[in-house]
Chain A
Amino acid sequence: MNNKKIIFKVTAAYMKKNKKRTLITFLGIMIMVAMMTAVFVGKDTVLEYMKNAVAADKGKWHIQVYDVNASQLEKIRALKSTDRVEIARSLGYSEFAQSGNPDETPYIELKGYSGELFDWMNIKVKEGRYPENENEILLSERALKEGSGIAIGDVIEAEMFERYIHAFASEKDEEAIANGEEPGMVFFSSGFRVLHGETLPVPAHFPYYENNDHFEILREMTGEKRSLTVVGFMEMPYYEAEGQGGYIALSGTEASCAEDERVNIVLTIDLHSKQDCFAEILSILDEDRTEEEREAVRKEGCSYMTDDGRSIPVEEGRVVENNMLLTFAARGNDASFNYLCIFFQVFFVALITAAALILIVNVFSMSFRERSRYLGMLSSVGATGKQKKWSVYYEVFSLLLFALPGGILLGLLTVKGGMMLLYPHFSKLISAIASNVINGRSCEIGYRLIVNPVNILFVIVFSTLAVRISAWIPAMKISKVGPVESIRGNEDVRTGKKRYKSRLALLLKGKPERLIAAASLERNRHSTRGIVRSITAFAALSLITAFASRSMVDIIKTKTENEDFMPGERFQGYDYAFATDDDADYAKGKADIESSPETESFRELEYSLFAYNIAMKDLKEEYKNTLRTIVEMYFPEKIPDIVMENVLEPTDTATNPVCNFVYLSPEDYAEVAKNAGADVSGEHTVLVYDTVRLSTDEYRFAFDGALQPDYAVYDLKEMLALAPGEELDLLTNGYDEEEDRVYETQIPVTFAGYVDAEDVSDFFRLRPGYIWIITSTETGQYMDGLLKDGRGILVRSLLFNVNTEDSSLVRRLSQINDTYGDSAITSASMYDGMTDFMTAITRIIEITAGCFTILIALICLLNLYNSVAGRKLSRHRELSVLDSMGMTKGQKQHMLLLEDISLLGRSFLHSVLIVMVFVLVLQKLLSDRFGKLHFTLPLPLIAVTLILSVAGLLLFTALSYRDRGREELIEKLRTESV
């Protein structure tokens, strides 16, 4: 017989004999494999789902480049980092005689798409087919919805033209132009602006406007005539907006570009390429520029900093990335997401390995006494250390062999189950991300498990490694078992020359339960350590997962918070929102809502952004130092004077730090003050939000010489250098229209104290990118009285519910339009939906961490059960002696309870130390990467972990030590006596 075979045979026999223990080890290993599978497959599945979701919103393209000539196109096509390139041509506008909405959309806006572009841009045919040449079109179904009678097969005789806008210049503007000054300008809600006297081509998807006193729309016929046959209708493309001047019509087009032509190109990149495709494209575009042009672009547009430190100028919006899609494909321009993914993947794998290691070490440690008997016996007949080691390896690897297929299957089921749980939250997340652009387009995104063979190979490799590492410690120990241990068989209790002092106090007081519990824990080293290790593992790993997931939520929250002001519960549940930029109309509508018998309930939401400035002298040194730290990240060598003057050492009012304002009704303001414990009984009091976030996102410097540092963020608390009750001077630069001059003014208010997120949580959540000040509408009116113009960008809305379906109030209010012609009344549901994104992402992380914690907890609980049961087995002599000495059930339970309390105490102490070290390291790692972050304590999870640890130990103790009557006692005595 092979020299290892006999060891394997004996080990197999013992595995069979100890079925329960073998099953626990097997389950532990299987869950470990399942978790490894869940980490690898889960990550790919979620990223694929997110990619699909983002692709369903904006399409599968990666980069769009506008205004490209034939030579640039060829160079871009030839890049190794590009995968496929398609062409999109803007073919101009044509009159659309069949329009059902000629007042708003009298044209068609024609585009030509080549090859795959229909698919890449998510063009969905609702009826008919895709166009096959330049004379066939697919028309937006919006045309039908808005009353057009056009049908498939109809032909539009199109005379193509381009649209231009010319803004009229007044005498004053002409004077300014003559003096080399900038004239006035016309702003459009899309952000497009035209200087008075200037003529510009309108941007894509521009609305239809009648000519007026400020500007006129011009058209230039291109001379091109086309007979366009409608071959189908499509869902509105994601970029088409209600109210744009032309219905989108798409025709087929050639994928080539003529020498004298300029086209837009859309491309996908090779995701496996290490090249910076974006930078390569920018370089190609930059090659044709003269130095003057380059300087002009740099001045007007922005610069892209390559990894090797080159700065390439680029016009704003000329090269566009589908950044979300690239992010989920691990190619986003912000490496933080990739870093996070890899960090947590490594972290989870390490955690799983730790859990498996503790289980396996414990299983062998708890059964050491029994193993030492048979291995010692084998040793006495000549088994070598290596052979004994193989008994451990044989046990774990034979279990791993069966656990691998089962674990992989369980892991896949876990991912499937997790995705089922997560799906509603993902859908919510997607609609939160995409709701503004989808505009009712169908967005059903299914998910499928992404089982990559490479990942399965990783699972097998990592699981094998984890088992090998875990088995190494017991294997080393067991290899040293000699024949003597086999005979003695009492390894579990300390031996040697050490003396054990009597616990006299306990003896004298007659406390046998405490005496035995203390002695047993102190002197049964293997079993005590085993249980302490198990509870520590359970508590520490669960808490570590809780902290890690909480950190993830914190980071993502910090990174994704886009809304400065997020309405809270008090502003939710309303049907209508009334808002207009005309003060008189607003006052009229407000009075109507307040007095109407149809109004069921209402609440005014009012806040202003960039309302005032706070003098640097009123801010603490910490604020100034942090600001300097951020600036120095951009300019490590020397901070330019312009930055010093505008940021660090403000020279005028406007360059001081700005603050935002929230105005609450006097009752709500009093409630918030009460929550914060602040006294607002004084005159013109204000409360200050206690956190302000300074980050590289809030302070960006894109001019020459500025580095592009990694994202860094600093949360500062209680930033004012003022005590409650002191005067705070709000600074502002106003424009006095009557006197046509800019004036500076100070508004003194009383600083009443700080409020934190909790104090205002019912009302709103604030993104602390700026200092936020909360005050009452009364103080707001006082401040208005000292100003000659408005207070910053005012967001003001009256939310209300009515008690009838056919409301004359709503009809009256809907007649009011703002200056852009939009209705003053809208659905208030957007205020409910604003919280969806963060809620969804938080829920996703919580569910993922929850699933993970449940699996980790399962391993740890198996481990704990094994340890408790093993300890009970190892002390059967103790227990039988106690029984035969007349220990009652009550005394035994009391003793076990005391032991459990002590075990829990020791374990929690260990857990706290481990978790503290972990949290500090995690915070350091994440802070190094993301800047100073505000980490929140996952208190509910800490409580749940502690409760589960206590409940688990008590339950397993009760199960393991349940009394099986006198038969057991005599059995135990028999084994120990005759």
Chain B
Amino acid sequence: MEILRVENVSKIYGSGETEVKALDNVSFTVEKGEFVSIIGPSGSGKSTLLHILGGVDKPTEGKVFIDDTEIHSLNEDKLAIFRRRQIGLVYQFYNLMPVLNVDENIALPHLLDGRPLDKERLDAVVEHLGLTDRRQNLPNQLSGGQQQRVSIGRAMYSHPAILLADEPTGNLDRKTGEEIVELLKESNRSVQQTLILITHDERIAMQADRVIGIEDGRIVRNEKVRNLV
């Protein structure tokens, strides 16, 4: 069952001589529960694509459908509500709320949606992420790996349909990076959460069901990992 459809998406920054085409007529679909890696060199447009998929940036042309809803036709508030219910974002630099502790950061999207906290579920997520003794710490009291775990916990707890991860291991050592990818994969497997992960790392990319390669804003490959192997 298709959960994401990207139709002819282009993104142009600037104009005239300074015009940069970050995405050029990109189209693809993602099935529910699928784990897709997007790989490409720096400046290829992969983060731009992820921001457009996450509804935090608008395409110059083209459409993005999530669960048959064209997200960029929604107004600001509806898009915000859609984002917190359907999309979980995990960034390279974690983007946690610096003033909230671990528990509060994890519960944030859920709370923003006006739903009261499910304490048992929160305990379970925190325990699963191995943050039990850190739950009263602020982000800057945590290591990079712990911060990324919180970021993933935030995405797991609110149970969005799609998890978008932008270089989640880019800032971490190899061992921690692997643990993070394992957590993401587990989330993908256990609750059938669709996972789209941006990475430079071919080795991580190969753990996905499918790999989409981008260069100069265009999709240069879109293949099942089985075929690649």
Interface residues of A (CB under 8 A from B): 488, 490, 492-497, 499-504, 507-512, 515-516, 519-520, 522-524, 877-878, 880-891, 963, 966, 969-970, 973-974, 976-978
Whether B132 sits at the interface, judged by CB under 8 Å, is no
Stretch at the interface among B29-37, B61-69, B134-142: B134-142
Could you give 19 example pairs across A and B, Cβ below 8 Å? A488-B140, A493-B98, A500-B137, A501-B136, A502-B101, A502-B135, A508-B119, A509-B116, A515-B100, A523-B98, A885-B89, A886-B109, A888-B81, A891-B112, A966-B56, A966-B57, A970-B57, A973-B95, A977-B166
Q: Contacts A500-B137, A978-B166 given; indicate if A886 touches B80 (C-beta within 8 A).
A: yes
Task: Map CB proximity to A onto B64-100 as digits: 1 under 8 Å, 0 otherwise.
Answer: 0000000000001100111111000101110111111
Q: Across the interface, which residues of B come within 8 angstroms of A492, CB to CB?
A: 98
Q: How many residues of B contact A (CB 8 A)?
A: 47
Whether B220 sits at the interface, judged by CB under 8 Å, is no
Contact status A516-B99, CB under 8 Å: yes
Chain B nearest CB from A262 CB (Å) reads 89
Contact status A494-B138, CB under 8 Å: yes
Q: Across the interface, which residues of A come within 8 angstroms of B138, CB to CB?
A: 493-495, 500, 523
Chain A, Cβ-Cβ closest to B86: A886
Contact status A519-B104, CB under 8 Å: yes
Whether B58 sits at the interface, judged by CB under 8 Å, is yes
Q: Across the interface, which residues of B come within 8 angstroms of A881, CB to CB?
A: 95-97
Q: Across the interface, which residues of B come within 8 angstroms of A891, CB to CB?
A: 112
Chain A nearest CB from B62 CB (Å) reads 16
Whether B207 sits at the interface, judged by CB under 8 Å, is no
Contact status B140-A508, CB under 8 Å: no
Bound Cα distance A519, B97 (Å): 10
Bound Cα distance A516, B141 (Å): 18
Contact status B116-A510, CB under 8 Å: yes
Q: Across the interface, which residues of B come within 8 angstroms of A509, CB to CB?
A: 116
Contact of A978 (CB < 8 Å), options: B99, B141, B154, B167: B167
Chain A nearest CB from B134 CB (Å) reads 10
* Residues B205-224 near A (CB distance < 8 A): none
Contact status B80-A520, CB under 8 Å: no
CB-CB nearest 6 A-B residue pairs: A886-B84, A512-B111, A510-B116, A499-B136, A507-B117, A886-B83
Whether B175 sits at the interface, judged by CB under 8 Å, is no
Q: Across the interface, which residues of A come within 8 angstroms of B100, CB to CB?
A: 515-516, 519
Q: Across the interface, which residues of A come within 8 angstroms of B24, CB to CB?
A: none
Contact status A882-B97, CB under 8 Å: yes
Whether B47 sits at the interface, judged by CB under 8 Å, is yes
Contact status B98-A507, CB under 8 Å: no
Chain B, Cβ-Cβ closest to A879: B97
Q: Across the interface, which residues of B come within 8 angstroms of A501, CB to CB?
A: 101, 136
Contact status B84-A883, CB under 8 Å: no
Bound Cα distance A511, B84 (Å): 15
Whether B161 sits at the interface, judged by CB under 8 Å, is no
Bound Cα distance A501, B100 (Å): 10
Q: Across the interface, which residues of B come within 8 angstroms of A511, CB to CB?
A: 111
Contact status B76-A977, CB under 8 Å: no
Bound Cα distance A891, B167 (Å): 29
Q: Across the interface, which residues of A come within 8 angstroms of B203, CB to CB?
A: none
Bound Cα distance A523, B108 (Å): 17
Bound Cα distance A885, B57 (Å): 14
Bound Cα distance A509, B110 (Å): 12
Q: Across the interface, which residues of B come within 8 angstroms of A890, CB to CB?
A: 77
Bound Cα distance A888, B55 (Å): 13
Contact status B104-A970, CB under 8 Å: no
Q: Contacts A884-B54, A976-B91, A977-B91 given; indicate if A519 touches B77 (C-beta within 8 A).
A: no
Q: Across the interface, which residues of B come within 8 angstroms of A493, CB to CB?
A: 98-99, 138, 140
Q: Across the interface, which residues of A come within 8 angstroms of B93, CB to CB?
A: 976-977
Whether B21 sits at the interface, judged by CB under 8 Å, is no
Chain A nearest CB from B217 CB (Å) reads 15
In addition to A522-B99, A889-B76, 19 A-B residue pairs with Cβ atoms within 8 Å of each other are: A492-B98, A500-B101, A500-B138, A503-B104, A510-B115, A510-B116, A519-B99, A519-B104, A520-B99, A881-B97, A882-B97, A884-B56, A885-B154, A886-B82, A886-B109, A888-B76, A889-B77, A969-B56, A977-B47
Whether B51 sits at the interface, judged by CB under 8 Å, is yes
Contact status B117-A510, CB under 8 Å: yes
Task: Map CB proximity to A onto B181-197 as digits: 1 under 8 Å, 0 otherwise.
Answer: 00000000000000000
Whether B107 sits at the interface, judged by CB under 8 Å, is yes
Chain B, Cβ-Cβ closest to A490: B140
Bound Cα distance A569, B77 (Å): 60
Chain B nearest CB from A880 CB (Å) reads 7
Q: Contacts A493-B138, A519-B100, A888-B77 given; indicate if A977 touches B95 (C-beta within 8 A).
A: yes
Bound Cα distance A499, B85 (Å): 30
Chain A, Cβ-Cβ closest to B100: A519
Q: Across the interface, which residues of B come within 8 angstroms of A502, CB to CB?
A: 101, 103-104, 135-136
Contact status A507-B92, CB under 8 Å: no
Bound Cα distance A889, B77 (Å): 7
Q: Contacts A499-B136, A523-B99, A970-B57 given; indicate if A510 touches B114 (C-beta within 8 A).
A: yes
Q: Across the interface, which residues of A come within 8 angstroms of B84, CB to CB?
A: 885-887
Whether B113 sits at the interface, judged by CB under 8 Å, is yes
Chain A nearest CB from B145 CB (Å) reads 17
Contact status A884-B89, CB under 8 Å: yes
Bound Cα distance A515, B110 (Å): 13
Chain A nearest CB from B183 CB (Å) reads 19
Contact status A878-B97, CB under 8 Å: yes
Contact of B80 (CB < 8 Å), options: A516, A519, A887: A887
Chain A, Cβ-Cβ closest to B139: A493
Chain A nearest CB from B51 CB (Å) reads 6
Q: Across the interface, which residues of B come within 8 angstroms of A888, CB to CB?
A: 76-77, 80-81
Chain A, Cβ-Cβ closest to B119: A508
Contact status A887-B112, CB under 8 Å: yes
Q: Contacts A977-B47, A977-B166 given; indicate if A880 touches B99 (C-beta within 8 A).
A: no
Bound Cα distance A4, B78 (Å): 55
Contact of A495 (CB < 8 Å), options: B51, B81, B140, B167: B140
Question: Taking each of A508, A512, A882, A885, which has the highest tally of chain B beta carbons within 10 Å of its own beta carbon?
Answer: A885
Bound Cα distance A520, B47 (Å): 29
Q: Across the interface, which residues of B come within 8 angstroms of A978, CB to CB?
A: 47, 92, 166-167
Chain B nearest CB from A539 CB (Å) reads 26
Contact status A970-B51, CB under 8 Å: yes
Q: Across the interface, which residues of B come within 8 angstroms of A499, CB to CB?
A: 136-137
Q: Across the interface, which residues of B come within 8 angstroms of A878, CB to CB?
A: 97-99
Chain B nearest CB from A936 CB (Å) reads 44
Contact status B112-A885, CB under 8 Å: yes
Contact status A507-B107, CB under 8 Å: yes
Q: Across the interface, which residues of A come within 8 angstroms of B101, CB to CB?
A: 500-502
Contact status B111-A510, CB under 8 Å: yes
Contact of B141 (CB < 8 Å), options: A495, A522, A977: A495
Q: Across the interface, which residues of A come within 8 angstroms of B137, CB to CB?
A: 499-500
Contact status B104-A883, CB under 8 Å: no
Q: Across the interface, which residues of A come within 8 angstroms of B85, CB to CB?
A: 886
Q: Across the interface, which residues of B come within 8 angstroms of A510, CB to CB?
A: 111, 114-117
Chain A, Cβ-Cβ closest to B102: A502
Chain B nearest CB from A954 CB (Å) reads 22
Chain A nearest CB from B216 CB (Å) reads 17
Q: Across the interface, which residues of B come within 8 angstroms of A516, CB to CB?
A: 97, 99-100
Chain B nearest CB from A972 CB (Å) reads 9
Chain A nearest CB from B58 CB (Å) reads 6
Question: Taking each of B47, B104, B114, B166, which has the highest tally of chain A beta carbons within 10 Å of its own beta carbon?
Answer: B104
Q: Across the interface, which residues of A come within 8 angstroms of B82, CB to CB?
A: 886
Bound Cα distance A935, B103 (Å): 54
Chain A, Cβ-Cβ closest to B46: A978
Bound Cα distance A883, B91 (Å): 14
Q: Across the interface, which residues of A come within 8 angstroms of B109, CB to CB?
A: 885-886
Q: Across the interface, which residues of A come within 8 angstroms of B115, CB to CB?
A: 510
Chain A nearest CB from B31 CB (Å) reads 24
Chain A, Cβ-Cβ closest to B135: A502
Chain B, Cβ-Cβ closest to A963: B76
* Residues B134-167 near A (CB distance < 8 A): 135-138, 140-141, 154, 166-167
Question: Taking each of B83, B93, B98, which has the highest tally of chain A beta carbons within 10 Å of its own beta carbon?
Answer: B98
